[in-house]
Amino acid sequence: MAVASRQEHTRDQVPLTRLDNADPQLFASLMSAVELVATAGAFTEGDELEAFETEFADYCGTTHAIGVSSGTEALALTLRALNIGHGDEVIVPTNSFIATAEAVTLAGAELRLIDVDPATNTITADTVASHLTSRTRCVIPVHLYGRTADLDPLLELTRTSGLHLVEDACQAHGAIYRGRRVGSIGTAGCFSFYPAKNLGGWGDGGAIVTNDSALAEHVRLLRAHGEHPRYYHRLRGTTARLDALQAAVLRIKLRHLDTWNQRRRSIAELLSEHLEHSPFTLPQLASDDQDHVFHQYVILSDQRDALRDHLKRHGVASGVHYPVPIHLSDAYASLGLATGDLPVAENHANRCCSLPISPFHTDSDITQVAQVMHEFDAAGASSGG
Ligand SMILES: *Cc1c(COP(=O)(O)O)cnc(C)c1O
């Protein structure tokens, strides 16, 4: 019975990610948490938010966590709370989701986009050093796809230069760098709880974690109109709280995060095992000194677009993260950077392809992905000449 149904499903659709509705038991517990909040009518601030903040800070190993409305706001409010703005420069990898750059713009600071290290797709002390100027105030490494950036040399550089290091951990919840959770290592760490992230809510959300009490207090004021106590506004802030409904969902899901990340690592190992003798460049797997929680499993191919067509025809979804590096996007045309200026990221953008991965994908999903990938390999080899 099980075997027959598995065979029937051999050519089912394999989506890029599967969300909570793939696990009926989890889904039911999330629904009842949402019902409790709605019944109590406590939608903003309150117990759920405070409890989540305590639990997330404990999980990350920091003294503070502040829930905010998105990962973008987490980054932007952190910069504002550090008094980084007009006239200041912030270094950001061009190979990221555009939000990392937007946060700098939102804070009123100047964006300095730089290229990444080809082996890791992250910025390193070496790639950053030559871009420091007298106006640089902050460096934002991105743990891209869930792979930890090499923070110790970066911290050494930022400390000796008197700069802040703010981690963009929006793709790497729970990843561990040399014994510490990402987010807890720099001045502050910023997270997104967009539904498809490793820890995702049922809508938008984000958080800042830090051991700096003054910074935490400042962010808390900024996210709610600088208000303390009620209707007494100490500074100009905004509306950027994490909703109680999201906090309730996230509290339940946080308990599963380590198990889910482990499943993502296993799926990555399985994919890499299957694809070992293929022509694709495979991502580095997690190891003791370089964790990877595989928000995305990204391969490189010179025939990326043909590969994606082939995958699609055989029911396998794929993604491109990201097709246009930030410095070549219309949004940042005013920076005046052109094709060829940041070649590592550009080359990556032209060749990268994200394959299906999530804690809820099954081994047979992954076998199907690998089979379809191999069929492309065979077709390419026979017609390629
Ligand atoms: C998702 C993401 C963000 C922004 O998070 P939102 O919650 O969508 O605002 C920032 N940086 C990176 C690297 C991301 O992947």
Give DSSP secondary structure letters for 139-162.
E--B-GGGBPP-HHHHHHHHHHTT
Specify the pLDDT at position 379: 66
Pairing relation of β-strands 136-139 and 164-168? parallel
Q: Give the distance (Å) from ligand 1 centre to CA of residue 97.
A: 6
Specify the pLDDT at position 56: 99
Gyration radius of the chain's alpha carbons: 21
Please report where in the chains the tokens 């191999």 appear, as a residue: 374
Q: Give the ligand 1 atom nearest the CA of 143.
A: 13
Residue 209, classed as helix, strand or coil, is strand
CA 285, CA 11: separation in Å to the nearest integer?
Answer: 27
CA 237, CA 290: separation in Å to the nearest integer?
Answer: 38
Q: Give the distance (Å) from ligand 1 centre to CA of residue 266.
A: 24
The pTM of this model reads 0.95
Q: Give the ligand 1 atom nearest the CA of 142.
A: 13
> Does ligand 1 have an atom closer than 6 angstroms to the CB of 78?
no
Q: In the chain, what's the furthest Cα-to-Cα distance?
A: 74
Contact in structure between 191 and 207 (CB atoms under 8 Å): yes
Contacts of 314 (CB under 8 A, 6+ apart): 11, 372, 375
- 230 secondary structure, DSSP code: T
Handedness of CA 350, 120, 76, 85 (dihedral sign): negative
CA 35, CA 27: separation in Å to the nearest integer?
Answer: 12
Residue type, 236: R
Specify the pLDDT at position 175: 98
CA 162, CA 127: separation in Å to the nearest integer?
Answer: 18
Specify the pLDDT at position 289: 79
CA 187, CA 107: separation in Å to the nearest integer?
Answer: 17
CA 353, CA 344: separation in Å to the nearest integer?
Answer: 16
- Token pair recorded at residue 299: 């391969």
> Does ligand 1 have an atom closer than 6 angstroms to the CB of 296?
no
> Does ligand 1 have an atom closer than 6 angstroms to the CB of 291?
no
Each residue's pLDDT, cut to its tens digit, for the chain (385 residues) gives 344 444 444 567 999 999 999 999 999 999 999 999 999 999 998 899 999 999 999 999 999 999 999 999 999 999 999 999 999 999 999 999 999 999 999 999 999 999 999 999 999 999 999 999 999 999 999 999 999 999 999 999 999 999 999 999 999 999 999 999 999 999 999 999 999 999 999 999 999 999 999 999 999 999 999 999 999 999 999 999 999 999 999 999 999 999 999 999 999 999 999 999 999 999 999 988 789 999 999 999 999 999 999 999 999 999 999 999 999 999 999 999 999 999 999 999 999 999 999 999 999 999 999 999 999 976 665 444 3
- 22 secondary structure, DSSP code: G
Residue 67, classed as helix, strand or coil, is strand
Q: What share of the chain is helix, strand, coil (3-state, %, to 5)?
A: 45, 15, 40
Other Cβ atoms closer than 10 A to 309: 13
Residue nearest to atom 14 of ligand 1 (CA): 170
Specify the pLDDT at position 288: 82
Pairing relation of β-strands 164-168 and 188-192? parallel
Residue nearest to atom 10 of ligand 1 (CA): 99
Closest CA to 196 of 72, 296, 341, 344: 296
Specify the pLDDT at position 378: 65
> Does ligand 1 have an atom closer than 6 angstroms to the CB of 204?
yes
Closest CA to 71 of 261, 251, 208: 208
Write the CA distances from 182 to 156, 188, 292, 366, integer angstroms: 16, 10, 11, 28
Pairing relation of β-strands 176-177 and 180-181? antiparallel
Q: Give the distance (Å) from ligand 1 centre to CA of residue 208.
A: 12
Mutate to test the pocket of ligand 1, among 121, 140, 170, 173 (most ligand atoms within 8 A of CB): 170
Buried residues in 150-185 as b, exposed as e (16+ CB within 10 A) = bbeebbebbeeeebbbbbbbbbbbbbbbeeebbbbb
